[in-house]
Each structure stands twice: as structure tokens, then as C-alpha cells.
Structure 1
Amino acid sequence: MTSDLDPKYDRSGVYRIYPTVGRGFNVYCDMTTDGGRWTVSDGLAHHNNNKFTTPNQDNDNHMSIHCATSGKRLGAGWWFNSFDSACFTLSYANNKEGLTAESLIQWEVWGGSRFPLKYAAMMIRRV
């Protein structure tokens, strides 16, 4: 895990992490920004160049479904393509409300939509 690395000794670069039981996978770890220990695993590439879609403005690329309001979604705005591979504006319900998959805050490349995230942060800075 990225938290096992020490910014004092470990440099930014590609490391193999094991967030769940299995073979693990390679991710880029930023060890300098704001104290380091950032996992950087670009799951937003699918959303590049898409307009922001809201419940009242359908800008996604899906022909028959309005992605911000489909299923049990609670009206999430996002940069949907024809579906989402990551969406941070959905609910964290820990499945207590019977919500699953596409209705929960998710990051597909991290663990699939069946493992909801408790929170997510998007950071931006000038490069």
C-alpha cells in the first residue's frame, strides 16, 4: 500500500500495491505533493473531453439513458461518457439503503463498483 512507503526514503515512481488479496497491480505513487503517499491509478481517462451532465442537463454520450438520473442514482452530476468508470458525486451508503453498483460513489479501476468508496477527493494544480 502507498501508506507503507515513507516520503523521507521512497521517491515518487511506480510501485506494486496490494489493496485486496490477489496479485496486486502497479500504480504511480506521488511521494512529494503535500506530504506524499498519493496513489495516482487514472481511472478518469474514459471521461476525457466530456461535458458535465446534471439531472436537468443531459450532456452524456449515451443515446437512450440520462446517466445522471438512471437507475437508483440520486441525481449525480458528472462528466459521463456513455457510462461511468468513476463517479465521485454519488452516495456513500455502505449498502444500508440497498444501493449497489452504479448508485454508489465508485472508482472502477480500484475495486469495481461493488466496493463503494467512503469518500473521494479530486485535486487540481498548475503544472
Structure 2
Amino acid sequence: MALAIWPATLPQAPLLDFEAAPRAGTLDPEEARHPMRTRTYPEHEATFHFVMTMAQWATFCAFYEDALNGGCAPFAAPWLPDIQYTHHFLRFVEPPTDQTYNRRHTKVTIKVEVIAGVPLVDGSPALWTGGE
């Protein structure tokens, strides 16, 4: 299963005021340990903010609806390693929201879960599809 990739025409970095909180994972001290761990990193929910032009907002909406099947499919973003999420991918927790600044710009807020992926030879994250 190939991951959808964040479009190159969209902003390539979120605003610095993103928020992230652990959700679950084997690094959580409250979680019961299992001898066959399925994850080595905790999952996180994160909120990211972007300032987009109206044309970028339209591109983002098309990406959300078409490539991500209404936000259900996971995706990779080239800016994740820059914020210390190397070998991770994202999946929407709720639909994105926008707050229009003026006729040309809008602030887009996305709430996603950040999930650890398995790095491939080229360094990109991959999803386990359940096959061997």
C-alpha cells in the first residue's frame, strides 16, 4: 500500500505553534507490556497550522477528498523529519478547518495522529499491509 504524499504546491512546513500529545504506545509507562511489542514509538495526536493562499486551500481540499478518501487514508509529509517525526506518517483525526484572513489567505488547522512507520531502503515510511 503506497502512502499519499503531501503535495509540493502546499506549504512545506507548518507554523511553529503546533501542539502534540502522546496517545498510546509501548513507551507509555501506564500501558501494559506485552512480550511481542507491535510499536516502539508512542502514537501522538498533533495539531498543525498552515497559512495558505486560496489556491493552495483548493489544492489541499482536493488532496483531502481525492488522495486521502475524505481524510481516511494515511499520508506522508516531507516536513515531518524537520519536526522530529522521522519515519512517521499521518492520518486525520477530524476534518481540517480554515479561518480566512483576507480574500487571498487562510489559516488551515489540521488535527492528525502521528504514527510510526517502518523505514524503507530509500528512507520513506511504509505501512504494514498485513501480508508476509
Per the TM superposition, whether the score is higher than 0.5 is no
Normalising by structure 2, report the TM-score. 0.23
Work out which structure has the larger RCO, using CA pairs closer than 8 Å and 6 or more positions apart in sequence: 2
**Structure with the largest fraction of strand:** 2
Normalising by structure 1, report the TM-score. 0.24
